[in-house]
Amino acid sequence: MHLSLSHHLFFTSIPSTHKSTTKTPISCNVLLNPLKKSLPSPAPPFSPTKFSPEYVPPPSLGPIQKLAAAALDMVENSILIKLEKNKNLNPMIDPAVQLQGNYAPVQEVPVQTGLEVTGTIPRSIRGVYLRNGGNTLFPPTGGHHFFDGDGMIHAVTLKGGESASYACRFTKTNRLLAEASLGKPFFPKPIGELQGRLGLARLGLFYARTAIGLADSGGGMGVANVALTYFNGRLLAMSEDDLPYAVRIRPDGDLETTGRYDFDGQLRNSMIAHPKVDPATGDLYSLSYNVISQPHLKFLKFDKNGKMTREVGISLQQPTMIHDFAMTQSHVVIPDHQMVFKLSEMIQGGLPVVHDPDKVSRFGVMSKIANHESMIQWIDVPDCFCFHIWNAWEEVDDHGHRVIVVINSCLTPMESLYFSDSNNPLKAELSEVRLNLDTGRSTRRVIVSGINLEGGQVDKHHLGKRTRYVYLAIAEPWPKCSGIAKVDLDTGDVAKYLYGSRKFGGEVCFVPNEDEDEDEEEGFLMSFLRDEEREKSELVILKASTMTQVASVKIPSRVPYGFHGTFISAQELAKQSLF
């Protein structure tokens, strides 16, 4: 089993009962860990999503298999589930907390056309906006974290003018299909269930079921719910605990999972969910980490045609959760921070991912053409802890020194990552980290203080080059997102667009104006928005240069809060692989 369950780990301020290194690591992706205090409404009941029987036929079992399956069901129902129900669940894994309000899952929605549009969708916006998220298929029987949910993609197709359609579909992962086939959840939930002895029992039960042929763990256990990347004509749905899944966008805007994608047999291990497509070359850069054995990290490069051209093993001292990295024109920048894997913690009742206060955060700078880990220059950045990096580039400073500039959101103070402290709340500070390659020293400067900024992007055409603007979600009240911020990195000025009372969005997606791709202001910003008071969902579209809304597309059904998304232009979509 891949234990890279950090895939979107992120801390919140839920009190921990464990010792100092066993804090309460939770969710990743940006901001969206539902906390009890921010979700006062009760959890609505929901039913499992219905799949058509011909799509997921039940497994064909022999008499002995049926007997063994029944025995395991009995063990689960009469012992394990009862013990889990008696467990006093931390809010971070309590389904009543994690799946309430707009965090509750929804059913699949086939293509809905002719959506109501307020304002005018700019004619230059032609393509598909897609956003990933967790959407559990079955009601949990025990602990569940929102990030344990099965991957679901929400897609809005925009064809200019007022033409807009919407669909949402599960990504048909190996685990989703296996569970749908049996009509029950049985793959272990990495955050919600893999804690303590009950977590080990869950794991044991799962492997007993695979041993009798109820599922194939070798086919992958990931949920593909974190992020989306369009590369070499394929939309890839990813979580860092598995290989990507390829999803085809049909001409009518519907989505169809074509399968687990191993880059034609070249990718053997899981890959992080934030690979980078080089805008200059079309090459894909990524990382893969291994919790069990060295090298704990690998750097991967695929050329624009999908051929793996580089794999560099990186021997970290400890297996480390690395959610994101950065790319400049000539280098990659790899964070090696304090969140590490300690499987022994799991046996003691905690999660296997912990904060190690004795480790010094650092960044590794490596040439894109390096072929050995000895070519990495590691530079300590002691006061920096981040999950996401928005951009990075190369500069020469006034002393003639080579400097790598990294723009990220540092989470601080570290103490508030672990303990609830209303007097010292967690902050997501947009920061500039400067890595001096000649002196080996670093600095960190807070660009914007007093406001939590996370979940954003720069113009993807400028990734790796100096950018003046970064567009981010205003992550307040944490972890919800109440608006969009456009930050001028030259001046520190912040232009805000606030959604309004009880309206919350998510990650900001920047859609470049393909006719104006040299100007990083000439584009549009998108985010799904939930009006919690009126119980309506929409896609809001802003003009980036003025930060004014130009259109809103009414979504005919609820869109839960989710994780990362992307926009694929019609020109890019025309080159979609036929699979």
Query: Shortest Cβ contact with Fe ion: which residue?
Result: 29
User: What minimum distance in Å lies between the beta carbon of 173 and Fe ion?
Assistant: 18
Sorted by sequence, the CB contacts under 8 Å of residue 117 that are 6+ apart come out as: 162, 164, 551, 552, 553, 554
Report the sign of the C-alpha dihedral through residues 509, 154, 577, 284, in that order.
Answer: positive
Instruction: Output 13 or 29, the one with its CB closest to Fe ion.
Output: 29
Question: 572: burial class by Cβ within 10 Å (0-12, 13-18, 19+)?
Answer: middle
User: What minimum distance in Å lies between the beta carbon of 133 and Fe ion?
Assistant: 12
For Fe ion, which stretch binds (CB under 5 A), given 28-36, 156-164, 277-285, 474-482?
A: 28-36
Q: What number of chain residues touch Fe ion (CB under 5 A)? A: 1
Q: Does 409 bind Fe ion (CB under 5 A)?
A: no
Query: What number of H helices and E strands is found in the chain?
Result: 7, 35
**Torsion region of 265: left, alpha or beta (phi above 0 gives left; psi -120 to 50 gives alpha):** left
For Fe ion, which stretch binds (CB under 5 A), given 29-37, 44-52, 346-354, 469-477?
A: 29-37
Token representation of residue 54: 């011909």
Q: CA-CA distance, 563 to 575, in Å (whole number)? A: 26
Q: Taking each helix axis from N to C terminus, what angle separates 196-211 and 63-75, rounded to the nearest 10 degrees?
A: 170
Instruction: Output 13 or 408, the one with its CB closest to Fe ion.
Output: 408
User: What minimum distance in Å lies between the beta carbon of 228 and Fe ion?
Assistant: 11
Q: CA-CA distance, 364 to 334, in Å (whole number)? A: 5
Token representation of residue 489: 């990195």
Q: CA-CA distance, 123 to 139, in Å (whole number)? A: 42
User: What minimum distance in Å lies between the beta carbon of 132 and Fe ion?
Assistant: 10
The CA–CA distances, whole Å, from 186 to 28, 77, 139, 202 equal 23, 12, 11, 8
User: What minimum distance in Å lies between the beta carbon of 337 and Fe ion?
Assistant: 14
* CB 564 within 8 Å of CB 227: yes
Instruction: Output 10 or 504, the one with its CB closest to Fe ion.
Output: 10
For Fe ion, which stretch binds (CB under 5 A), given 22-30, 63-71, 169-177, 469-477?
A: 22-30
* CB 573 within 8 Å of CB 249: yes
User: What minimum distance in Å lies between the beta carbon of 10 and Fe ion?
Assistant: 8
Q: What is the DSSP string of 146-169?
A: GGGSPEEEEEEEEEEET-EEEEEE
Instruction: Output 29 or 165, the one with its CB closest to Fe ion.
Output: 29
Rounded to 5, what percent of the chain is helix, strand, coil? Answer: 15, 35, 50
User: What minimum distance in Å lies between the beta carbon of 107 and Fe ion?
Assistant: 25
Instruction: Output 29 or 442, the one with its CB closest to Fe ion.
Output: 29
For Fe ion, which stretch binds (CB under 5 A), given 25-33, 250-258, 307-315, 511-519?
A: 25-33
With CB under 5 A as the contact rule, the residue among 22, 27, 29, 416 that binds Fe ion is 29
For Fe ion, which stretch binds (CB under 5 A), given 27-35, 65-73, 247-255, 440-448?
A: 27-35
Query: Taking CB under 5 A as the criterion, which residues in 54-113 touch Fe ion?
Result: none
Sorted by sequence, the CB contacts under 8 Å of residue 492 that are 6+ apart come out as: 447, 448
Q: Does residue 274 have a known ligand-binding role?
A: yes
Instruction: Output 16 or 132, the one with its CB closest to Fe ion.
Output: 132
Token representation of residue 469: 């603007």
Q: Does residue 18 have a known ligand-binding role?
A: no
Instruction: Output 29 or 49, the one with its CB closest to Fe ion.
Output: 29
User: What minimum distance in Å lies between the beta carbon of 300 and Fe ion?
Assistant: 18
Q: CA-CA distance, 519 to 545, in Å (whole number)? A: 10
Q: Does residue 337 have a known ligand-binding role?
A: no
Query: Taking CB under 5 A as the criterion, which residues in 30-59 touch Fe ion?
Result: none
Q: Does residue 564 have a known ligand-binding role?
A: yes
* CB 437 within 8 Å of CB 404: yes
User: What minimum distance in Å lies between the beta carbon of 73 and Fe ion?
Assistant: 36
Q: CA-CA distance, 309 to 255, in Å (whole number)? A: 30
User: What minimum distance in Å lies between the beta carbon of 324 and Fe ion?
Assistant: 6
For Fe ion, which stretch binds (CB under 5 A), given 21-29, 92-100, 206-214, 349-357?
A: 21-29
Q: How many CB atoms lie within 10 A of CB 120?
A: 12
* Residues forming the site for Fe ion (CB under 5 A): 29
Query: Residues comprising the binding site?
Result: 274, 323, 388, 564
Query: Residues comprising the binding site for Fe cation?
Result: 274, 323, 388, 564
